């Protein structure tokens, strides 16, 4: 499914709509796209819609930042940007047991991720224009994608 | 009192002995920067493995250089967080082992607070105080009513300033770490290119992600149009924009809080020469306020700042027992 976005408020509206479908489900969402494509911006809006109160900012330096959703379940925000070329098992599997995990630059740690995930790939256009391709890769994620209507 | 400090929250394994908050008896830092160069950043598994390799050597070297034994140490301080969890564990485990083997009090320390307290090494801190912490993982403006209270006035809403420098440097093909290179090139350039001005909602908050994207879009646009641009000018335009973001917030905070007596800086980005220049300019604008930018040895990740913070926390009664663990997202205290 392709979603076209023309402004920050449309990014936020899309993240909110998806968040409603994801509440209370353990889920992995991967975000891919160039530097500046809007991955962290999207995660901020998504987290806010899930009821996260703290500031969600870039996890590039610490790799993983964890937050509490409105219902108390965790939202894990991972950035694999600095993990390019790392081949060791980094122990992320604990994140996938409970709550929602959002991973930026997921291709760098592809072999450590469960298959069932919702993948969002961001293509950058001019200014604030973006095209997001959303795909499901398993049963859980397919169910969420089915519930989504543009 | 002599405090032994241990730091292992990210790049550096560091151990230091500091006497009475002021006298650095020894400060050992084993940097992983060469390893990280290869990967373009911090790789946690690599980082924690190297911390394990380094920690015992660093403790031994710090004691030897200070000409002390563990008997002379009055307390052991360690970074509890925030940081990379695997890395934090290494320092915390070492500190716990030392504290219990030698029956010394164990004091957990917050990494960001320690960057601020590092100023104690060169000056007596006066309160109320405003601190700017700028590094690869932090961009915060912190208000301290007194020695042990912290209020985060503003923080970055996306990238940390050091991270923005690193990412822009990568886009421009300059390598890691990017800060010193951009700083050097900016000196040869002029701020002639127009880049996106950062936008934030909070009065004291920062944003660098839009600026980073703006540099990226600029280079793509130039390539598309087959135009050339001056790298030094681009570095300078970026740096001026990023620092303007920081300094406009500092001024707002100083104007809103006329009771502030002291302004201090911490974190690795305070090595930036243009940032230091701009603080000199601020000094002239606010003659009533004391401005301190500590020497670089105090600004980057090191353990003397952990020992100083540990001394202050010890004096205020903070202790930990054998249940102490690292906390990757520990709030400042």
Sign of torsion over alpha carbons B236, B242, B248, B254:
negative
The torsion angles phi and psi of B39, rounded to 5 degrees, stand at: -100, -10
**Claim to verify: residue B254 and residue B130 sit in the same structural domain:** yes
**Considering the domain boundaries, does residue B54 fall inside one?**
yes
Total number of domains in chain B: 2
Q: To which residue do tokens 């985060």 refer?
A: B152
The answer to whether residue B323 sits within a structural domain is no
A4 in reach of chain B (CB within 8 A): no
Domain region containing B304:
2-117+298-315
* Per-window interface: A 90-149 vs B, CB < 8 A: 90-91
Label residue B317 by pLDDT band (50, 70, 90): very high
Q: Do the chains contact at A84 and B10, CB–CB below 8 Å?
A: no
When pLDDT is cut at 50, 70 and 90, the band that residue A150 belongs to is: confident
Which pLDDT value is given to residue A108?
87
Instruction: Please check the confidence at residue B87 and state whether its pLDDT lies above 90.
Output: no
Say if pTM beats, i.e. exceeds, 0.80: yes
Across the interface, of A61, A81, A91, the residue whose CB is closest to B160 is A61
Whether residues B40 and B143 fall in one domain: no
Contacts of B290 (CB under 8 A, 6+ apart): B123, B126, B261, B262, B263
Per-residue b/e over B89-98, b at no fewer than 16 CB within 10 Å? bbbbbbbbeb
Supply the mean pLDDT for chain B. 92
Rounded to 5 degrees, φ, ψ at B140 are -135, 150
Nearest to B40 among A55, A82, A89 (CB): A82
Same domain, B286 and B303: no
B47 and B183 in a single domain? The answer is no
Least confident of A58-62, A76-80, B64-68, B202-206: A58-62
CB-nearest to B84 from A40, A62, A88 is A62
Q: Is residue B34 included in any domain, yes or no?
A: yes
Q: Is the reported ipTM for this assembly greater than 0.85? A: yes
Model pLDDT for residues B221-242, shown as the tens digit of each residue = 999 999 999 999 999 999 999 9
Q: Does residue B322 lie within any of the structural domains? A: no
pLDDT at residue A35, as a whole number: 86
Give me the pLDDT at residue B30, please: 85
Residue pLDDT, tens place only, B137-156: 889 999 999 999 999 999 99
CA–CA dist B167, B160 (Å, integer): 11
Shortest Cα–Cα distance, A56 to chain B (Å)? 7
Q: What percent of chain B has pLDDT over 70?
A: 95
A97 vs B293, more confident: B293
B74 and B13 in a single domain? The answer is yes
Neighbours of B144 (CB within 10 A): 21
pLDDT confidence of residue B232:
97
Start-to-end CA distance of chain A, whole Å, equals 9
B80, B109 contact by CB (below 8 A): yes
Is the pLDDT confidence value at B329 over 90? no
**Minimum distance, in Å, between the CA of residue B39 and any CA atom of chain A:** 7
| Interface residue of A53, A61, A80, A92 to substitute, partner B, most B CBs within 10 Å | A61
Residues B150 and B188 in one domain: yes
CA distance A34 to A57: 17
Asked if residues B313 and B100 have their Cβ atoms less than 8 Å apart, the reply is no
pLDDT at B177 over 90: no
- The CATH number of the structural domain formed by A2-21+34-83+105-147 is 3.40.50.300
Which CATH number do you get for residue B131? 3.30.420.40
The reply to whether B330 falls in a domain is no
Q: Are residues B185 and B262 in the same domain?
A: yes
Mean pLDDT lowest for which of A49-58, A107-116, B248-257? A107-116
Six-digit token string for B21: 């908050």
Q: Domain for residue B332, yes or no? A: no
**B161 with B18, same domain?**
no
Which range scores top for mean pLDDT: B48-57, B120-129, B162-171, B215-224?
B120-129
What percentage of chain B exceeds 90 in pLDDT? 79
Q: What is residue A138's predicted lDDT score, i.e. its pLDDT? A: 93
């Amino acid at each position: 499914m392709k979603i076209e976005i023309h402004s920050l408020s449309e990014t936020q509206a899309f993240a909110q709509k998806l968040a409603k479908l994801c509440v209370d489900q353990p889920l992995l969402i991967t975000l891919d796209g160039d530097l500046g494509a809007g991955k962290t911006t999207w995660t901020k809006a998504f987290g806010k819609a899930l009821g996260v109160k703290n500031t969600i900012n870039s996890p590039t330096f610490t790799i993983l930042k964890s937050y509490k959703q409105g219902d108390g379940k965790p939202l894990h925000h991972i950035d694999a940007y600095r993990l390019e070329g790392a081949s060791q098992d980094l122990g992320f599997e604990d994140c996938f047991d409970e709550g929602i995990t959002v991973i930026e630059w997921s291709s760098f740690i592809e072999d450590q991720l469960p298959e069932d995930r919702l993948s969002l790939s961001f293509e950058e256009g001019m200014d604030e224009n973006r095209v997001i391709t959303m795909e499901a890769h398993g049963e859980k994620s397919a169910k969420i994608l089915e519930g989504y209507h543009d | 009192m002599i405090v032994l400090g241990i730091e292992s929250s990210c790049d550096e394994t560091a151990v230091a002995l500091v006497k009475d908050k002021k006298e650095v008896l020894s400060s050992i830092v084993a940097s992983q920067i060469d390893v990280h160069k290869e990967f373009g950043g911090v790789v946690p598994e690599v980082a924690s493995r190297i911390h394990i390799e380094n920690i015992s050597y660093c403790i031994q070297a710090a004691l030897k250089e200070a000409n002390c034994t563990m008997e002379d140490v009055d307390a052991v301080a360690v970074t509890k967080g925030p940081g990379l969890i695997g890395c934090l564990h290494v320092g915390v485990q070492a500190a716990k082992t030392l504290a219990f083997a030698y029956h010394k009090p164990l004091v957990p320390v917050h990494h960001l607070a320690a960057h601020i307290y590092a100023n104690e090494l060169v000056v007596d801190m006066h309160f109320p105080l405003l601190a700017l912490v700028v590094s690869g993982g932090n961009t915060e403006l912190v208000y301290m009513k007194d020695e042990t209270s912290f209020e985060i006035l503003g923080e970055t809403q996306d990238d940390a300033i050091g991270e923005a420098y690193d990412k822009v440097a990568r886009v421009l093909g300059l390598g890691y770490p990017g800060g010193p290179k951009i700083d050097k090139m900016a000196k040869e350039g002029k701020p002639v290119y127009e880049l996106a001005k950062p936008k934030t909602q909070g009065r004291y908050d920062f944003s660098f992600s839009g600026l980073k994207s703006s540099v990226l879009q600029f280079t793509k646009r130039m390539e598309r149009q087959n135009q050339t641009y001056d790298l030094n000018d681009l570095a300078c335009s970026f740096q001026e924009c990023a620092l303007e973001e920081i300094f406009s917030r500092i001024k707002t905070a100083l104007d809103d809080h006329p009771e502030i007596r002291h302004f201090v800086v911490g974190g690795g980005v305070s090595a930036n020469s243009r940032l230091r220049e701009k603080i000199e300019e601020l000094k002239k604008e606010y003659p009533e306020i004391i401005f301190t930018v500590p020497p670089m040895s105090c600004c980057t990740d090191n353990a003397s700042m952990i020992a100083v913070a540990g001394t202050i926390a010890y004096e205020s009664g903070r202790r930990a027992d054998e249940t102490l663990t690292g906390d990757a997202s520990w709030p400042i205290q």
